[in-house]
Amino acid sequence: MAFGVAEDVVRAPDLVSAKARMTLVRLAGFTSVRVTSQWLPGQTAPPEAELQILRNVVAAAQLSGVRIYLSVYPPGSRSTPLTAEAREEFAAYVTVLAQQLPSVDDVIVGNEPNLNRFWLPQFNPDGSDAAAPAYLALLARSYDAIKAVDPSTRVWGGALAPRGVDRPNTGRDTHSPVAFLRDMGAAFRASGRTTPVMDGLAFHPYADSSGQSPDTPHPRSTTIGLADYDRLVATLAEAFDGSAQPGSTLPILYDEFGVESRIPAGKAQAYSGKEPATTRPVDEITQGQYYGRALQLAFCQPNVTGILLFHSQDEPALASWQSGVYYADGTPKSSLYAVRDALARARGGSIARCEGLALDVAATKVRFPTQGELLRGLRDVRFTCSLDCAWELRAIGVSTSGTAARVTGYGRAGVPLVASLKGRRLGPGQVRLVLTLRHPVNPGVPVSRESRALSIR
């Protein structure tokens, strides 16, 4: 899975600044970053300054071991690409991005097209859905353009907001993700298209407010949050299964999920404006707990391939998002440490026990003691686990097949480990040292590595 952030603070006009900001992201434990590039009507290619910023981001990401997701969309409803000409311009824009940034393997097309903030009109005069078919047309044209440059690039569609009204003329015309996906499916089937329009679905499973736990379900509404995964998959199945576009098996990327925290008085000078009353920010301890719970939920959802928190660093305007693990001035919040630990447990496969999940742990960099080292009293076995592991080291008599000594322990993924039989009586004769690993939370098949026969005096 991808564990990262949606964070434009890494966009910088020079590589040094981009690398410094990317380092902060990496230090917080994130290994994926979603950045944006906004298309404007009439543009058939990004301005050179925009391309240079994105090149800096990509270079900084490569230096930091970070995966980039590139989100391309019109900045607001006044720039919605509704005509065939506008869709061709947008497709030309993403084509240039794909050509100029060949190491970017993931492109997200659009941003919350089910909201009037980013797409208008949402409804036709007769009350039918205008946005979903129009967005589908843009997604299809973009998909074909990107695949023509590099067929291996993953194209993510949707980037949908988690809730909507589904009624025209309310003053805030919006669609719920359930209605929008159904209407996308109907438009796809009506088009007669025989190839997909997306390799995965991007989705924004925000809670109703920052004060709501991410494991809150919405059984009596069309809202889809993190706890409504089954409804999301069922909606995709209804919309697309049986067509050329995969539905129930479609990979899902949660490319935005944020929880805002309250700003302490000592950091107030780094912010401006006023917090909206509807936000309901939480304390930093709760923010860390909610992010950890979000990672647990996403980890156990089979189709979900990643979750990106929105953001790593607070926006300075209080009317915007203070959902980072860093304050706006770049200093860490107390939530950073809880989030970093949760990210490590998620990568190691131990953040949650998932039904049906069986993880096999591989042992790497295994070094058993040599005969000479053993005779000098050195009885350490050094190794690294590919995932979090419960390990057992046994000394087994070659002639008796009995266990002469045994030690056990636990290790984190990727961390160099030492299992030692120092001080244990092994007896005279020959032994083999056997190292066995299994996953401690979602165990699969145990794996063992064995030394050659070693003589004990």
Residue 150: which residues within 8 A CB-CB, separation 6 or more? 98, 102
Domain ranges in the chain are 2-347, 363-456
pLDDT in tens, 348-375: 999 999 999 999 999 999 999 999 998 8
Superfamily name with CATH number, domain 2-347: Glycosidases (3.20.20.80)
Per-residue model confidence (pLDDT) at position 187: 98
Q: Does the N-terminal peptide bond of residue 251 adopt cis geometry, omega within 30 degrees of 0?
A: no
Give the Cα separation of 111 and 34 in Å (integer): 12
CATH number for 363-456: choose from 3.30.70.141, 1.10.150.110, 2.60.40.2550, 3.40.640.10: 2.60.40.2550
Could you write out the DSSP letters of every residue in 262-282? Answer: PPPGGGGGG-BS---TTS--B
Which tokens belong to 167? 């009624």
pLDDT at 415 over 90: yes
Q: DSSP of 42-102, one letter per residue?
A: T-SS--HHHHHHHHHHHHHHHHHT-EEEEEEE-SSGGG---SHHHHHHHHHHHHHHHHH-T
Q: Percent of the chain scored above 90 by pLDDT? A: 92
pLDDT of residue 426: 78
Local structure of residue 371 (DSSP, 8 states) = H
What pTM does this model have? 0.94
The encoded tokens of residue 409 equal 């322990």
Summarised one tens digit per residue, pLDDT across range 268-301 is 999 999 988 888 999 999 999 999 999 999 999 9
The one-letter amino acid code at 185 reads G
Pairing state between β 380-385 and 417-420:
antiparallel
More confident residue, 430 or 71: 71
pLDDT digits (tens, 9 = 90+) for 46-83: 999 999 999 999 999 999 999 999 999 999 999 999 99
CA 260/CA 268 separation, integer angstroms: 15
Q: What is the pLDDT of residue 401?
A: 78
